[in-house]
Amino acid sequence: MAATTEQQELTGSPAGPRRRGTGRVAAAVSVFGELLITAGLVLGLFVVYSLWWTNVIADRKADRQGDKVRDSWAQEEKGGPVAYDSKNGIGFLHVPDMTGDEILVEKGTTSKVLNDGVAGYYTDPVKAALPTSGKKGNFSLAAHRDGHGAKFHNIHKLKKGDPIVFETKDKWYVYKVYGILPETSKYNVKVLGAVPKESGRTKAGHYITLTTCTPIYTSRYRYVVWGELDRVEKVDDQRTPPKELSGS
């Protein structure tokens, strides 16, 4: 006992208080570590939700809406009462070099529309020219690149000459990619113009424009792809797709 007291006097620091201080530090480190683990788990779950689960939910909604559109087309062809509502979609976009899925196209580019796993045509600040009108102009579209269906996720895989096909009840509109802008300001509305001069075109024509966020997992800039109408095909009784989609 005397030896212990003597050691404490020599060091000038009682052993008891030192152990209590060390215990507090260890406890604080332990709590901080647990908080970091919890924060990591929450962040991980958020990433899973944003990049995977929102895709699942959006794809389900888009599939249901797409089925409604096709059902209404079939009903109309049979001479039944038309239950078609443009809010259910105006047609389907097929871009084989970007995705193997068909993409339902609806009116508007708000988050409420695009979050349902569809592509939306612009109504503001520039109004898109629908190909079904027959008038020259720019059929400008937007879709998410990540989360909520991520329909334009692989837009960067498109190259000049690749087909973009828009399917309606009666016709196939076949476009060919001719211009790509990998990065531009999200405020650059000129890319949506009736004559998209930034694409190199100077005369009125039948154009299509695909826009989405870039870089991947951000929304800082916009990625733009332009196409020009190559031809229009009538939909036959078997709904045979154009050769660009059939692989023939």
Average pLDDT over residues 37-61: 66
How confident is the model at residue 10, as a pLDDT?
41
Residue 213 appears among annotated catalytic residues: yes
pLDDT band with cut points at 50, 70 and 90 for residue 1? very low
| Other beta carbons less than 10 A from residue 43's beta carbon | 10
pTM of the full structure? 0.79
Distance CA 234, CA 211 (A): 27
Per-residue pLDDT of 107-128, as tens digits, reads 999 999 999 999 999 999 999 9
The alpha carbons of the chain give a radius of gyration, in whole angstroms, of 29
Q: Of 113, 213, 224, 225, which one is the catalytic site residue?
A: 213
pLDDT-derived band at 226, boundaries 50, 70, 90: very high
- The mean per-residue pLDDT over the stretch 226-238 comes to 96
**pLDDT value for 77:** 73
Helices (H), strands (E): how many in the chain?
Answer: 5, 8
| Phi-psi domain of 148 (left: phi exceeds 0; alpha: psi -120 through 50; beta: other) | left
- Opening angle at CA 56, ends 51 and 61, nearest 5: 125
Write the single-letter amino acid at 38. T
Asked if 223 and 156 count as a contact pair (C-beta separation under 8 A), the reply is: yes
pLDDT at 69: 93
| Mean pLDDT, range 137-144, rounded to an integer | 98
Helix (H, G, I), strand (E, B) or coil at 22: helix
Which pLDDT does position 87 carry in this prediction?
58
- Residue 199 DSSP label: G
pLDDT over 90 at 13, yes or no = no
Q: What is the pLDDT of residues 51-79, one digit of tens each?
A: 667 888 988 999 999 999 999 898 877 76
CATH for 49-246 (3.40.50.300, 2.40.260.10, 2.60.15.10, 2.60.120.10): 2.40.260.10
pLDDT at 132 > cutoff 60? yes
